[in-house]
């Protein structure tokens, strides 16, 4: 969501003739987009802002702003804490940002705008540097949340749940495709409840609309709340050909007692029943999840129940976190806090256990042929390497089940018309690691794009 918000910020600033630069020293404007979901992320914000003080002294006209969830949460207090800061703007103020910047430029003032609204302020969608050449893109379909899980700050910093108009979503995706996108990930704090409050189409109906867009190859989405996982959404994995075979379904804990204290509104039995339906209807689906360890009052028995659930589920992947108190969240006032030492030990147990299952799932793919959407060069690849030996170039992409696959250019016989970013390549998996796969290209799928499709060769 922060990546998407940053793209919106850049889009709005482009209208004011601000261009992206990779150099802080050359910048006339620095925007820090922040996250408040974990305490450590918040600490990093103020550490980074502190390092900008020297740059501000050297360049007094430099405008420094803070946006996102920490800005929404702390408001004007940040100006007091960071005297060289010019601007604090909240999660609902992105649409107002161009006007705010113009005011600061002309009046040399400091501004705080953390006004919340239940309406989404839309910017005119214009593709920019963020989108050019990007095969995969994020698209927010809703903002905020109405669930009020007791550990979570989201309803307080992103507001109440509000869904975007489906026509605007479809238009945005179409524009992204025109700039080269072939995959979109639909974003929402709880995509399963999309459109319900506003009487719009349901989330499965929105997925069907997106599935019908020409030249789009793949659809992903996150995050999906277990309590609202519907039969129609489960069936969508079988019925929509562009919907990827992966769902992120956060469980947070394997203990019913802890789930109730978290206000998750489902229990272990309901979660497992919905997973059974998913796997019965679509056996190849990959399921990933979230776990929070050390929630206030979590006993050793509660934690053991979480470990047992992980063993029963055999998730494809897991995001695990130590609980931390968040301002305004109800659990911050809960007694029986778990020590940092104990939280750290429990987290490591979860990570070690899940690593076993992730590696096991990856090894099961060795020998299979997977269809990979080429996203670009692998992390170990550089442009210099391409110039030296094009045949040895390493590419990266993901399976439909969201597993990272790296592979070489391959023999001329296989890739005679070139590996192309944004193209589907069939790759035989030959090695499995804990967090990625290695394969060999077997064939390149024919291009079937319509008039808007363009071939972008990388050499």
pLDDT digits (tens, 9 = 90+) for 319-364: 999 999 999 999 999 999 999 999 999 999 999 999 999 999 999 9
Averaged pLDDT for residues 257-277? 98
Q: What Cα–Cα distance (Å) separates residue 233 from each residue in 246, 375, 412? A: 12, 27, 42
* Residue closest to 361 by CA, chosen among 299, 434, 254: 434
Alpha-carbon distances of 216 from 120, 213, 337, 427, rounded to whole Å: 26, 6, 48, 21
Contacts of 189 (CB under 8 A, 6+ apart): 142, 143, 144, 145, 147, 154, 158, 161, 223
- The dihedral through the CA atoms of 152, 298, 294, 304 has a sign that is negative
Among 225, 129, 212, which residue's Cα sits nearest to residue 169?
Answer: 212
pLDDT at position 169 is 96
Q: Is 60 a residue whose pLDDT tops 60?
A: yes
CA distances from 137 to 21, 103, 190, 304 (A): 21, 32, 19, 38
Q: 188 by DSSP, 3-state: which?
A: coil
Query: Is the pLDDT assigned to residue 394 strictly greater than 80?
Result: yes
103: helix, coil or strand? Answer: helix
User: Which stretches of 153-251 are assigned E, i.e. beta strand?
Assistant: 162-163, 183-187, 218-222, 246-248
Q: What per-residue confidence (pLDDT) applies to 130?
A: 62
The mean pLDDT value of the chain amounts to 91
Contacts by residues 2-6 (CB-CB < 8 Å, ≥ 24 positions apart): 2/33, 2/34, 2/35, 2/68, 3/138, 4/138, 4/139, 4/140, 4/187, 5/33, 5/67, 5/68, 5/91, 5/94, 5/140, 6/31, 6/33, 6/130
Of 154, 156, 165, 127, give the one whose Cα is nearest residue 11.
127
Is the Cβ–Cβ distance between 123 and 99 less than 8 Å?
Answer: no
Report the pLDDT averaged over residues 74-97: 95
User: Percentage helix, strand, coil, to 5, in the chain?
Assistant: 35, 20, 45
Q: Are 246 and 288 in contact (CB under 8 A)?
A: yes
Give mean pLDDT, residues 98-127: 85
Dihedral angle at the C-alpha atoms of 299, 286, 130, 200, nearest 10 degrees?
-90
387 pLDDT exceeds 60?
no
Structural domains of the chain in order of their starting residue, each with its CATH number = 2-113 (3.40.50.12160), 136-363 (3.80.30.20), 369-444 (2.40.50.140)
368: which residues sit within 8 A by CB, 6+ positions away?
428, 429
Among 138, 144, 186, smallest CA distance to 166 is for 186
Q: Bigger pLDDT: 99 or 411?
A: 99
**What are the pLDDT digits (tens) for 176-234?**
999 999 999 999 999 999 999 999 999 999 999 999 999 999 999 999 999 999 999 99
**Alpha carbon 264 to chain centroid distance?**
21
Query: Which residues have a Cβ under 8 Å from the Cβ of 190 and sit 6 or more positions away?
Result: 142, 145, 146, 147, 161, 223, 224, 225, 228
* CB 367 within 8 Å of CB 429: yes
pLDDT at residue 38, as a whole number: 82
Question: What's CA 346's distance to the chain center, in Å?
Answer: 25
State yes or no: pLDDT of 105 exceeds 90: yes
| Distances from the Cα of 324 to the Cα of 25, 143, 152, 159, angstroms | 35, 23, 10, 21
pLDDT at 389 over 70: no
> What angle (nearest 5°) sits at the alpha carbon of residue 212, between those of residues 207 and 215?
115
Does residue 260 register a pLDDT over 50?
yes
Q: How far is CA 327 from CA 1, 113, 144, 151, 370, in A?
A: 20, 19, 17, 10, 45
Indicate the Cα dihedral angle 306, 312, 313, 317, nearest 10°: 70
**Do the strands 218-222 and 183-187 form a parallel or antiparallel pair, or are they unpaired?**
parallel
pLDDT computed for residue 124 by the predictor? 65
CA–CA dist 417, 413 (Å, integer): 9
DSSP 98: H
Q: Is the dihedral of CA 428, 431, 433, 438 positive or negative?
A: negative
- Identity of the highest mean pLDDT range in 33-37, 67-71, 131-135, 406-410: 67-71
* 136-165 pLDDT per residue, tens: 999 999 999 999 999 999 999 999 999 999
State which H helix or E strand residue 237 sits in: helix 231-239
């Amino acid at each position: 969501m922060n990546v998407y918000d940053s793209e919106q910020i850049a889009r709005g600033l482009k209208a004011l003739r601000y261009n992206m630069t990779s150099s802080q020293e050359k910048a006339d404007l620095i925007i820090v987009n922040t996250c408040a979901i974990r305490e450590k992320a918040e600490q990093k914000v103020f550490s980074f802002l502190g390092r900008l003080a020297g740059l501000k002294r050297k360049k007094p006209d430099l405008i420094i702003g803070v946006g996102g969830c920490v800005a929404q949460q702390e408001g004007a207090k940040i100006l007091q804490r960071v005297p060289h800061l010019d601007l604090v703007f909240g999660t609902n103020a992105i649409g107002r940002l161009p006007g705010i910047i113009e005011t600061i430029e002309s009046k040399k003032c400091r501004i705080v705008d953390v006004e919340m609204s239940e309406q989404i302020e839309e910017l005119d969608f214009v593709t920019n540097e963020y989108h050019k050449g990007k095969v995969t893109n994020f698209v927010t379909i809703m903002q905020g949340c109405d669930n009020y899980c007791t550990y979570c700050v989201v309803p307080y910093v992103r507001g109440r749940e509000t869904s975007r108009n489906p026509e605007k979503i479809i238009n945005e995706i179409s524009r992204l495709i025109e700039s080269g996108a072939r995959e979109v990930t639909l974003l929402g704090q709880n995509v399963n409840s999309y459109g319900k409050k506003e009487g719009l189409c349901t989330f499965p109906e929105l997925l069907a609309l997106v599935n019908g867009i020409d030249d789009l190859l793949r659809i992903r989405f996150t995050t999906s709340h277990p309590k609202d996982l519907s039969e129609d959404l489960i069936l969508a994995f079988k019925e929509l050909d562009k919907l990827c075979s992966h769902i992120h379904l956060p469980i947070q804990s394997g203990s019913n007692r802890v789930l109730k204290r978290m206000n998750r509104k489902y229990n272990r039995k309901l979660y497992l029943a919905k997973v059974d339906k998913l796997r019965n209807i679509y056996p190849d689906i990959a399921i990933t999840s979230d776990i929070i360890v050390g929630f206030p009052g979590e006993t050793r028995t509660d934690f053991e129940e979480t470990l047992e659930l992980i063993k029963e589920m055999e998730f494809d992947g897991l995001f695990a976190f130590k609980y931390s108190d968040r301002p305004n969240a109800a659990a911050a006032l809960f007694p029986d806090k778990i020590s940092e030492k104990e939280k750290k030990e429990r987290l490591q147990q979860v990570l070690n256990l899940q690593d076993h299952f992730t590696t096991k799932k990856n090894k099961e793919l060795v020998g299979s042929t997977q269809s990979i959407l080429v996203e670009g060069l692998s992390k170990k690849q550089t442009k210099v390497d391409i110039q030296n030996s094009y045949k040895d170039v390493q590419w990266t992409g993901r399976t439909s089940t969201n597993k990272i696959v790296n592979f070489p250019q391959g023999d001329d016989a296989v890739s005679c018309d070139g590996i192309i970013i944004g193209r589907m390549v069939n790759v035989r998996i030959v090695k499995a690691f804990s967090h990625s796969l290695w394969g060999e290209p077997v064939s390149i799928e024919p291009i079937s794009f319509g008039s808007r499709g363009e071939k972008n060769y990388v050499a």
